[in-house]
Amino acid sequence: MFVDVHAHLTHEAFSQDLPDVIKKAKENNVLIVCAGSGIVDNQSVLRISRKYGNVYASLGLYPWDAVSLSEGEIDFCIDNIRKNAENIVCIGEIGLDHHWGKGKEDLAKQEWVFNKLLDLSIEINKPVLIHCRKAEQDVLEVLRTFEGKTIIHCYTGPQSLAQEFVDMGCYFSIPAIIVRSKSFKKLVRKVPVNQLLTETDSPFMGLTRERRAEPVDVIEGVKEIAKIKNMSYEKTRDIIFGNFKRMFKVNLK
C-alpha cells in the first residue's frame, strides 16, 4: 500500500472529477489523508472522508487563515476538531508561515493558535502535520517542549536545520515533486527512511509544472526515494507505509 498523508481534495481543482481522482488512487492502492485548513474546509474534509473508504480526515487551521479569525471563531474551530477526534487521524495543517508578512501582531497570533492546537493534539492523542514556511527556527523552538508526534509537511527550509528536526524525532512528508526537486532529494538523503512519509499537497506541486498533482503521484515519489536510499521499490514502499501506520495509528477501513 501507498499513502498520501497530505492532499487538499476540497480544492476547486477537483470540483469536476473528484470521484475519478479518488477511484484512481484506490485502484493503485493509495490511501489519502485529506487535510483541512479552517472552519468551513474542515467540514468538507469530514464529508469526503465519510464518503470514500480510502480517504481519512485531518482537520486543521492554516496559519494565515487563523490570523483573520476572531478568538471566538478560533475556539469554535478547535472545539470542532475536539468533537471529531474519533473521526480524524491527524491535526493539520497547522503551523507558522512568515512568508506573506511579518507584522508582530499577526505572527504572535499565529504562534498562539499553533500552541493551542499542539495542546489539543496531546489532549486527543493525535499527531500534528506542520506547515513551516520561512519560520523553521521559530517552529523548532516551539517544538522543543512538545511531546507529541510531529510530521513536517513539505519542508523547504534550510538544510542546516533539518537535522535538528530529525534529532527531535520529527517525521518528514516528502512530496512527489522530489522527482524534479534537488532540495527534496537532498533532504531525503539526510532523513532516516523510518522517519519518511509521502504526500502530494494535491493539487499543488504536480510531477510537471504543467499539470496538477493527484494522490496517485505518491507512487513516483516512492520510486525516487528508493533510488536515493539505494533500496528496492517494494521495501521502500513497505517501510513508508509502516511509518504511516505507526505514526497515525489508523484502523484500515
| pLDDT tens-digit map of 73-107 | 999 999 999 999 999 999 999 999 998 766 888 89
User: Each residue of 145-171: pLDDT tens digit?
Assistant: 999 999 999 999 999 999 999 999 999
Tell me what the mean pLDDT of segment 195-207 comes to: 97
Average pLDDT over residues 15-30: 98
Give the chain's largest Cα–Cα span.
Answer: 51
Asked whether the predicted pLDDT for residue 250 surpasses 90, the reply is: no
pTM of the full predicted structure?
0.96
3-state secondary structure the chain: CEEEEEECCCCHHHCCCHHHHHHHHHHCCEEEEEECCCHHHHHHHHHHHHHCCCEEEEECCCHHHHHCCCHHHHHHHHHHHHHCHHHEEEEEEEEEECCCCCCHHHHHHHHHHHHHHHHHHHHHCCCEEEEEECCHHHHHHHHCCCCCCEEEECCCCCHHHHHHHHHCCCEEEEEHHHHHCHHHHHHHHHCCHHHEEEECCCCCCCCCCCCCCCHHHHHHHHHHHHHHHCCCHHHHHHHHHHHHHHHHCCCCC
Kindly tell me if the per-residue pLDDT of 131 is higher than 80.
yes
Structural domains of the chain ordered from first start: 2-248 (3.20.20.140)
Provide the pLDDT for residue 172.
98
| pLDDT (average), residues 125-146 | 96
